[in-house]
Structure formats: structure tokens, C-alpha cells
Amino acid sequence: MRAVVVALGKVGLPLAARIALAGHEVVGCDVDPRVVDLVNAGEPPFPNEAGLAEALAETVADGRLRATSDTAAAVAKSPDLVVAVPPLVVDAAARPDWAILDAVVDDIGRGLRDGTTVSIETTVPVGTTRHRVAPALAARSGLDVTDMVVFSPERIFSGRAIEDLDKYPKLVGGLSPAGEARGIELYASFLEAEVRGLGSAEAAELSKLAETTYRDLNIAFANELARYADRLGVDVLQVIDAANSQPYSHVHRPGIAVGGHCIPVYPRFLLASDDQARLPALARELNESMPAYAADLLGDVAGARVLILGVAYRGGIKETAFSGAMPLRDELAARGASVVAADPLFGDDELRALGFEPWDGGAVDAVVVQTDHEEYEALGEADLPGVRAIVDGRGVLDPSRFTVPVRRIGRPDDAAQDPGSAIAPTTRSPARPSP
């Protein structure tokens, strides 16, 4: 098989490497010349992706994988499969900006020849493949693309993408039975995982939105349990573990925020596709209220210097997509706090570019742990000079290392050491989403 993979990011490049590892010829396309040059040198353009450096070193050296910036020319050589995984940029309300996807589809259409299967892996609202992508490809190429276009959602986790490609069933939905069958055949030629046809592009699109929206709903329920546990004075993790001790309960863990490129975004895509959906909107509202709830737990911060530990949306990943650090910063500032931030993955200039004042290591009145970086697990009171109150929004700190209160969401017993040293509790009622 000959394949072209368009957009060599954290989804596309591991996919291109996996196809090449299976013995196929792959051309990777990207508009960034730096990415193209690094891939052609056999070097990963981003860190912390298990197995990628080794895969590139092997497949680039023997000619199975190469990169180019000319997508149309690569597609014009009539590969069996073209996989497009460009980012779908969204605004603060998760409304998509179609410019990048449309440009990629246009480039593919300029080179498209009869007999090539085009697979869209970028997560999109239901109906996008049939009503946006396929007409654009047809108009640009002059072809009837009904049997040539499929949707197959990416289902990987950043940092273990190559492993995940062979772990979870690959879902494929076509615009026609013949096109779907061809897509299944092509994916099965390089994946060890089951390749499962869903009968339509719409079913495949909805499956991706369903799996991510389920997680958002579940986390929202865990957060609601945690807030109730705070009012009851019980440990929510003990409650959740007890509930999950039988096989029909799978409650997730609460936390200060739900960030990333997927979980905060795709429920909005589902809502945009289905104007009768109700639960996703409520879950989004509750999860988006959690940074403010964490500030409530901290107490009255007017005039206090508050340190946010971690601006990344999750531990070990240098990304800030929908990170809770931004709304937390804004909430604390609105309450009169002087806010500083630190993150082991971001330098001072990078923090400033994100709108944060870098922490100089000096005294702070209060601390909020926003990211579960492993570096924070070993922190003690001596590492946070002057601190009088802590909210651990991710449950990563060891409260025994502190003599000041350490509040964890849904775990009020963690604050029992010395209530007198805490910042005075706020009189503001915790925010609750409207029904």
C-alpha cells in the first residue's frame, strides 16, 4: 500500500510512522518546513511520544517514510490511502474555525485521482464528512467521490499514540458501502486492532463524540458528588471507590478543571449537531464552574498573593488547551488576589505570553495546584514559603508534609490540621450550574 498522511502533528505523525512500520510506503505532508525537515532527518518534531523516535529512525532510514510540504503533489501520485488529520481550531466557546480543514481538503482535492480513498480523522460535528468535506473534494477534483471518502476518528492518547493505534478498534464509516469496505481493507493492512465498519460516516462521527462526551458527563457527575461530599464532610474518593466496587458503576474522579483538545470541545460539537441534547450542556456548565469552586475552597483572597501551580491542562504535557489555569487566574484576580504562576514545563517568557505573572520563588499566602505534574508530588511546606492555605485541585500533594490546611475537592478531612492558619473562609456561596 502507498499512503499519504496530511498534518504531521501528535496524531498524524505517529499514524504515518505506524503505517510505515507495517512495511508500506508513506509520504507525510505538513505546511511547517521545520516539521518536514525534522521528519526527513528521522527526528521527532515534538517530545514525549513513546516509540516515535525509534520508528522514525527506522522508517526514514530505509525510505519507507518521507515528508513534504506539497500535499497536492503527493496526492497526485495516486496513493491507495490519504489520511487527513489537520487540527480543527476552536474558539473559547468551542465553535470551529474551518479554515485549516478546508485548506487541507482543497489541497487534497487538487491532486485527487480516481481510486484513492480519503479518510478524515479530525473529530468534527456530525454531518461534516458528507456535507462539507465530500462536496469540496468533488468540486476541486471533478470526481464523484461517493465511494472514495470515509470518516475514521482518531482514538489515541498523546504520549502513547503508536501503542494505542493497535489497542482500540478502528472505526470506519463511509459515504457508501463500497467506500466503507475499501476503507476497512486499507486500515486492516497496517493495524493489528480490529477494524470495525459502522455503516455510515455519520455513525462514525457520532461514535467519537459519544465516547468523549460520556467522559465529560461522568466527570461532571463526579464533581457534583465531590461538592455534595464537601457539604456532608465525607471523602468523595472513598464514596466513588465503594460505588465502583461492583461492575456496573464506573464513576470518574473529580477535579479542578477538564482541559485538553477533546473533552471540553467535543460535547459542544454534539450540541451543535443535535439541538435537542440537554445533558452535555449541563455537564459543560458544571465542569466549567470548578475553577471558581476551587477558589471558594481557598477562602477570602482579597489582597492575598496566590500561586497557581501548573498551567498545562494535564501533567507531563506542555499544552494549555482549555486549561483550568486561565479561568482560575481570572477568578482569583476578580476576587482581589495578586496571582502568580509556575509550571516546570514553561519558562517565564512563555508564562507571560499566556497572561501569567511568573512566580519568583518568594512568599505567597495561598497555593492552588491546577496541574497534576509528578514534580508536585514531593512538595512540602518549605517549598512554598509563607503559605497559609492550599487547595490541591488534583489530589497530588501529601497533606502530611504540611502543617497548614490542604483542601482537596470532595475531601474536607485534609484541612483538619490547623484551621486557624487558613485564609478566612469566603462568605460567597459556591457557584452551582442552573438546571
Residue 435 domain-assigned? no
End-to-end Cα separation, the chain, in angstroms: 53
pLDDT at position 434 is 37
Residue 417, pLDDT score: 44
Which residue is associated with the grid cell 493489528? 192
Same domain as 398, residue 336:
yes
278 and 294 together in one domain: no
Any idea what the CATH number is for the domain that residue 212 is in? 1.10.1040.10
Which domain CATH number covers 332?
Answer: 3.40.50.720
Q: Are residues 280 and 257 in the same domain?
A: yes
pLDDT at 419: 39
DSSP-assigned beta bridge partners for residue 96: 90
What is the count of structural domains for the chain?
3
Q: Please say which residue of 170, 199, 228 terminates a domain.
A: 199
Regarding whether 175 and 86 lie in a shared domain, the answer is: yes
Question: Residue 333 is placed in which grid cell?
Answer: 484576580
Residues 239 and 284 in one domain: yes
Whether 168 and 232 map to the same domain: the answer is no
CB 72 within 8 A of CB 6: no
Query: Residues 385, 363: contact at Cβ < 8 Å?
Result: yes
Q: What is the pLDDT of residue 423?
A: 66
Q: Are 216 and 323 members of one domain?
A: no
Give the Å distances, CA to CA, from 342 to 366, 375, 393, 431.
13, 12, 15, 26
Give the C-alpha separation, 106 to 390, whole Å: 51
Q: What stretches in the chain show pLDDT beneath 50?
A: 415-421, 425-435
427 occurs within a structural domain: no
pLDDT at 48: 86
3 state DSSP class of 64:
coil
- What local confidence, expressed as pLDDT, does residue 158 receive? 84
Residues 174 and 236 in one domain: no
430 within a domain of the structure (yes/no)? no
Same domain, yes or no: 317 and 195: no
Instruction: Indicate whether 76 belongs to any domain.
Output: yes
Instruction: Based on the fold, state whether residues 190 and 219 are members of the same structural domain.
Output: no
Range of the domain at 272: 208-288
Which residue's C-alpha cell is 459515504?
175
Does any domain span residue 428? no
Q: Are residues 42 and 176 in the same domain?
A: yes
User: Residue 431 falls within a domain, yes or no?
Assistant: no
Are both 193 and 248 inside the same structural domain? no
Domain stop point among 232, 265, 288: 288
Q: Which candidate, 141, 118, 131, places its Cα nearest to that of 29?
A: 118
Stretch (H or E) spanning 172: strand 170-174
Residue 432 lies in a domain: no
| Residue where one domain finishes, among candidates 180, 199, 218 | 199
Nearest to 199 by CA among 179, 221, 219, 226: 179
22 neighbors 37 (Cβ within 8 angstroms): no
387 in a structural domain: yes
